[in-house]
Amino acid sequence: MDLVSNGIIIVLKYLLPGFVSAWIFYGLTAWQKPPEFERVIQAFIFNMFVQVLVIFTSWTFFLFGKYVHSFGSWTANVSLFWSLIVAILFGLAVSYFANNDTIHAFLRRKNITQQTSYPSEWFGAFRQNKTYVVLNLKGERRLYG
């Protein structure tokens, strides 16, 4: 039983950054949350990108430690810490690009796609044209926003 619980903890420590990135992405964008299975798959994909970025981070620190100054050895705890930092930054970056249509705008200019990164056509229309909507209610009342 102890071996199984240790294995689960190790797997969760490894997958945690992807779930943090997905949580930040869905918290900061207007996208509807997909079903649980799809969110787990997206967390795995985010985790792959985060783990690759952590490898580059560790190489950077190794080179910095070799040529400038060493702050210590790269342990499992240090790796977990930097995984969470990179996951937060990755989640913020993906949210930024999704909210500002940056990547899809570049791909549209290259005629690769006609899609936007917005969750609906209405969201994109109101995002691009800074206008307001006026709803005329009964009794000559208006809702403006």
CB 83 within 8 A of CB 17: yes
Q: State the residue for tokens 């910095």.
A: 64
Per the rule left: phi > 0, alpha: psi between -120 and 50, beta: everything else, 34 is: beta
What distance in Å separates the CA atoms of residue 33 and residue 97, rounded to the nearest whole number?
A: 18
Give pLDDT tens digits along the chain (145 positions).
565 677 788 878 888 899 999 999 988 888 788 888 898 899 999 999 999 999 999 999 999 988 898 888 888 888 889 999 999 999 999 999 888 888 888 888 998 988 877 777 777 677 777 777 788 888 888 888 7
